[in-house]
Amino acid sequence: MAIAPHRSERNALCDLFTRVGPAAPTLCEGWATSDLATHLVVRERKPLAALGLVLPLFAAGLERTMKRTSKEKTYDGLVALVRSGPPSLLRPFDAPMNMSEYFIHHEDVRRGGGDTTPRPESDIADVEEALWKSMGRGSRLLTRSLASTGLDLVHSDGRVVHARSGEQAATLTGRPGEIALYLSGRKAAAHVEVGGPPEAAAALRDARFGI
Q: How confident is the model over 152-199, as pLDDT tens digits?
A: 999 999 999 999 999 899 999 999 999 999 999 999 999 999 999 999
**175 and 193 in contact (C-beta within 8 Å)?**
no
pLDDT exceeds 70 at position 1:
no
3-state DSSP assignment of residue 12: helix
Q: Residue 170: beta bridge partners?
A: 151
Q: What angle do CA 54, 22, 43 make, to 5 degrees?
A: 25
Determine the residue type at 38: T
Q: Which residues contact 209 (CB under 8 A, 6 or more apart)?
A: 142, 143, 145, 182, 183, 184, 185, 187
Chain mean pLDDT for the chain: 94
pLDDT digits (tens, 9 = 90+) for 4-36: 999 999 999 999 999 999 999 999 999 999 999
